[in-house]
Chains A and B, each alone.
Chain A
Amino acid sequence: MKTPPCLLFATLLFWGWQSGMLLVGALAGLVLEAAWVFKWRWDLEDVDFNRIWSFCFLVLVALSGYIFSTNDEGGGLSGMVHGRTVHNATISSTVTYTTVMRSLPLIFFPFIVAQIYNVRSSVPLTAVSLVLRWRRRRGERSLAGHYLDVSYPYFIVCVFAAGIHPNQATHTYFWGQCVLILWALWMLRARRFGLKHWAIAFAAVVALGFLGQFGISQAERMVQNFNAQWMARLFGPKTDAAQSVTAIGQIGRLKLSPRIVIRLEPRKVGVVPGYLREASYRTYSSRNQTWFAGGSLNDFSSVHQEPDNITWVLLPRADADAVSIACYLNGRSQDGDHEGVLPLPTGCSRLENLPAETSVIALQTNKMGTVLATGSGLMIFDARYGRSATIDSPPDITSTNNDLTVITNEIPALNQVIAEMNLTATNDAENLFAVERFFASKFSYSTWQGPAKRATNASPVTRFLLNSRSGHCEYFATATVLLLRQLGIPARYAVGYSVHETSGSGYVVRERDAHAWCLAWNRATRTWDDFDTTPGSWMAIEGRQSAFADWLSDARSWIGFQIAKLRWRQAHLRQYILWTLSPVLAVLVYYIIFQRRTKARPSKSNAAMEAAVIWPGHDSAFYRLEKRLAAGELPRPPGEPLADWLERALAEPALASLRRPLQELLQLHYRYRFDPNGLNDREQEILVQKVDGVLATLSQK
């Protein structure tokens, strides 16, 4: 071991402290440092190091696989296929990475122990590199004899592992690793420079390191604070039934990912809902550009499954149209179950083929048409829907914040627009038509919002209506809702997805298809109708952003979807993975341990084939004698010739009297075995008789 005494102990202790495994770190360190006290050593060969390294590596791979496939924090396989937010898609890799990296010192502990307690305190280079091992196996002799001391690399691994998720508030990690590195480098310093130079250089490096990590964390904080709202939108995954924070008023480009989040399969060809609504909202706050469901209408009430346990009735009627929907639930309930808002077609009356208990634990609805499900991470069900009443409550025009409320500071702009529209119609339908035409002719779709040209106190919606006349769906939906209300038509703000992209026999909905529109109250049919004023070009504009490599992510998403289907239909997947992994690991471990034997087998069988050539004299009677003597305390090592062995045997006082007959027997036996002329029949008989005689004498003794 080249590292100075106690350095590895201190490093492992530090690692244990930083990663919450103080006891483990201390024990591991003690095991390593005990090598300074105990002088016994193993005599491991290169091939043993190969095996130990392979074992450590396998543990690493298996651990990564296990953690990745089973970590549930919005990650794992479901996280990979969710694709709903950047956060969820990367979290599983992050969790796996951090856990595995933090465990590196433990994973490679057997390897360092093997080196430290080996006679030669270094490991063969071929052990740590599969490429080199392969080249060695191909017969490149030049690679033999290259050895490496891994105690310093192990030290670096420990320091690195301790630095995974350090406590940034106290800087203990930074100063701790500085001390350890100082200690390690002190032993390795070049002696031709004075102590002063060395100290200055080290201090400079520490200062740079401190400033660097301080700077990075500052920059990180700055980016995070740059647009907290926007970040919250991007990283806050789930649709909230109580409120919808819009991107209205934000400057810059709105980006949404092309990941597939919902898959639809129409029960009848071509009949597919245009919108999948997740939630609707009543009250708009221009202060923070947020829509609220508001008041008691947001209170949820449970829906109970029908006796068949797979049907959930939202409205008591039988609709003809049906669509199969697969979506993910990526929120969390208080109990830790998956929870989320179901995207449903307008006028959805019942959910079918949705098993209670295994898929859904609870289903709740509110008066805003939101259906909240708790259960497994993936929901696959059939939704029946029709163009009639919805589960939404009828318009509320009595309370203070009702479906006709318009915030006062938007009223001047709305009135100006109404005047511009020059409305003459008397009924709602014509008014709606006029509004739609007005938006289609005077407004354009854009995900880009520039800063206001001159300083103004006008709200973003006012600016949208009067100045920019360009924006994304949230502008259109918000403005339309307010405009309709100003015109006396009850309206609500709805969020969900637009369905327009086919894929095979079904449809896929991407994250960028997320949409906002408005619900307008139809006094004639007494229903809430979807009313969308966003120019139809928005889909084309969003689609244009689709990257060339989208098909790759689509393929990944499809595979992930199949895996998720498997996963959520199997409640015990985690155990299955463990059970599947263990035999695989066992087989690999077996392979590693017995690799030499299996590799040697072909040559052995070669040898066996040659051994089939039976050498003369194999049936010599002398072997009985040898067996008899070897059965006592005189076993013969494979490399010892019979004559030497016999000499050893005759040193026993009990056999001294048999010296002469035994030596004669050996001569005969040798002639029988190794003289190409061999023994004649008579001599063979003599050999047998003499052996019998000596055996008889031996048994008498």
Chain B
Amino acid sequence: MTPTDFVAARATYRNISENIAKIMRGQGAATRHLLAALAAGGHVLLEDYPGTGKTTLAKALAKSIDAQFKRLQFTPDLLPSDILGVSIFDQRDQQFHFHEGPVFTNILLADEINRASPRTQSALLEAMGEAQVSVEGERRNLPDLFFVIATENPVEFRGTYPLPEAQMDRFAMQFTLGYVSPAEEVAILTAQAHNHPIDELQPAATLADVLALKRAVENIRISDELKRYAVDLVAATRTATGVQLGASPRASIALMKTAQAEALFDGFDFVTPEQLQKLAVPVIAHRLVLEPQARFSGGSARSVVEGILKKLPVPA
């Protein structure tokens, strides 16, 4: 990996980021998190109120990359075979043919993922964990770039199924978009006066560029001391008060990889403590299961991780 590769990778990131910024006004941080997860090979869960632009962000990313994009609207009657694919008997040649489901794509938007039953949600476990699916006893690999953006709505309880812990753990990051400032909202209104700008969005990077970006991220250096810091951060969640289930080693891995991506975006060739700290909440918080008592007394997973960040001495 030469310095020019890093420069090219950074250019890819900048291009995609600027392309998305045309659509997603005032969501620079969220875009950055999204791209960090993409470059680190993780998946993203967007949790926010309806209308904040979750789907738009996902679509903008998909459009910015010249890659295959599929969108899956999760509904209560969705079945695992609707995601993975199914073998259908062809009367002409008297044989079963496997019809790939929407999971066979580069970027998959799993919209309102918590509307499907846990049975259907679990269909994604293998795909997200190992980039492969096993259907009818046969293993099928997914494309090199396989990126899931799932969205969910936190305010609804009726007709929704909370994601199982195992599924939550498969997401490298979970973050929210939040409402934008009034000025930016006015700009959004102006931009959408005639038609949606997303329709005119052109790809800013090819699939190869993104794969190169992923390779560059893998080559960002990280010292043993910071690996240890990441492990300590994650381990601290397992003993924190009010936490029933702490984060897994998968969280440490995700934290390291996304921090590498973040370092690349920051223009570093190596990871610094700030990048680990910046990503600790979106990477770790959604994996924690709090004790009911802690939840009722106003505690949140986010505050637990923030508390650990404050308490644990950071390498300096």
Residues of chain A touching chain B, judged by Cβ–Cβ distance below 8 Å, are 45-46, 120, 141, 144-147, 615-616, 626, 636-644, 670-671, 673-677
Contact = CB atoms under 8 A, between A and B. Distances in A.
A147 to B, nearest CB: 7
Interface stretch (B23-31, B49-57, B289-297): B289-297
Which 4 pairs of residues, A with B, have the shortest CB-CB distance?
Answer: A145-B293, A638-B313, A675-B270, A639-B310
Interface in B265-300: 269-274, 277, 291-294, 297
Q: Of residues B272, B311, B315, B316, which shows the largest number of chain A Cβ atoms within 10 Å of its Cβ?
A: B316
A639 B274 CA distance: 11
B274 A675 contact: no
B41 interface: no
Given A674-B271, A676-B270, A615 B294 contact: no
B242 interface: yes
Nearest to A613: B224
Interface in B194-248: 221-226, 241-242, 244
Contacts of B293: 144-147
Contacts of A615: 223-225, 315
A45 B223 contact: no
A674 B273 contact: yes
Contacts of A46: 241
B315 A145 contact: no
Given A145-B292, A642-B316, A674 B270 contact: yes
A642 B314 CA distance: 9
B308 to A, nearest CB: 8
A290 B274 CA distance: 98
B291 A676 contact: no
B84 to A, nearest CB: 36
Given A45-B241, A145-B291, A638 B314 contact: yes
Contacts of A644: 274
B312 A676 contact: no
A26 to B, nearest CB: 34
Contact of B242 (A145, A147, A616): A145
Given A673-B225, A674-B315, A676-B270, 4 more contacts: A626-B316, A642-B316, A673-B316, A674-B225
- The dominant DSSP class at the A interface is loop
A639 B315 contact: no
Interface of B: 221-226, 241-242, 244, 269-274, 277, 291-294, 297, 309-316
Nearest to B308: A639
Q: Of residues B221, B270, B309, which shows the largest number of chain A Cβ atoms within 10 Å of its Cβ?
A: B270
A414 B206 CA distance: 135
A673 B292 contact: no
Given A626-B316, A673-B315, A677-B221, A643 B274 contact: yes
A45 B242 CA distance: 12
Given A636-B316, A676-B222, A641 B274 contact: yes
A638 B272 CA distance: 16
A639 B311 contact: yes
Contacts of A642: 273, 316
Contacts of B224: 615, 676
A278 B292 CA distance: 75
Given A120-B297, A675-B223, A641 B269 contact: no
A330 B146 CA distance: 94
Given A145-B242, A638-B311, A673-B223, A643 B297 contact: no
Nearest to B263: A674
A665 to B, nearest CB: 13
Nearest to B278: A641
23 contacts: A46-B241, A144-B241, A144-B293, A145-B291, A145-B292, A145-B293, A146-B293, A615-B223, A615-B224, A637-B310, A639-B313, A641-B272, A641-B274, A641-B277, A643-B274, A670-B272, A674-B225, A674-B273, A674-B315, A675-B223, A675-B269, A676-B222, A677-B270
Given A45-B241, A144-B291, A145-B292, A640 B223 contact: no
A218 B291 CA distance: 55
B165 to A, nearest CB: 15
Nearest to A120: B297
A643 B316 CA distance: 9
A641 B316 contact: yes
Contact of B294 (A145, A637, A641): A145
Contacts of A45: 241
Contacts of A676: 221-224, 270
Nearest to B273: A641
A640 B34 CA distance: 25
Contacts of A141: 244
Contacts of B226: 674
B103 to A, nearest CB: 36
A338 B270 CA distance: 87
B272 A643 contact: yes
Contact of B314 (A144, A640, A670): A640
Nearest to B223: A674
B77 to A, nearest CB: 37
A147 B291 CA distance: 13
Contacts of B223: 615-616, 673-676
B200 to A, nearest CB: 39
A675 B221 contact: yes
Contact of A639 (B241, B270, B312): B312
A671 B270 contact: yes
A643 B221 CA distance: 19
A639 B242 contact: no
A145 B242 CA distance: 7
Contacts of A146: 293
Nearest to A670: B272
Nearest to A645: B316
A145 B296 CA distance: 11
Contacts of B313: 638-639
Nearest to B271: A674
A670 B225 CA distance: 12
B225 to A, nearest CB: 4
A144 B311 CA distance: 22
A640 B310 CA distance: 7
A52 B36 CA distance: 48
Q: Of residues A615, A639, A644, which shows the largest number of chain B Cβ atoms within 10 Å of its Cβ?
A: A639
A678 to B, nearest CB: 9
A667 to B, nearest CB: 9
Contacts of A144: 241, 291, 293
A44 to B, nearest CB: 12
Contacts of B273: 641-642, 674
A670 B223 CA distance: 11
Contacts of B294: 145
Q: Of residues A45, A46, A636, A642, which shows the largest number of chain B Cβ atoms within 10 Å of its Cβ?
A: A642
A609 to B, nearest CB: 13
A146 B309 CA distance: 27
A46 B241 CA distance: 9
Contacts of A616: 223, 225
A120 B221 CA distance: 46
Q: Of residues A46, A120, A147, A615, which shows the largest number of chain B Cβ atoms within 10 Å of its Cβ?
A: A615
Contacts of A145: 242, 291-294
Q: Of residues B223, B226, B269, B293, which shows the largest number of chain A Cβ atoms within 10 Å of its Cβ?
A: B223
Contacts of A639: 309-314
Contacts of A638: 311-314
A616 B310 CA distance: 24
A287 B106 CA distance: 117
B274 to A, nearest CB: 5
B230 to A, nearest CB: 12
A675 B273 CA distance: 11
B5 to A, nearest CB: 16
A615 B315 CA distance: 10
B48 to A, nearest CB: 27
A145 B295 CA distance: 11
Contacts of B241: 45-46, 144
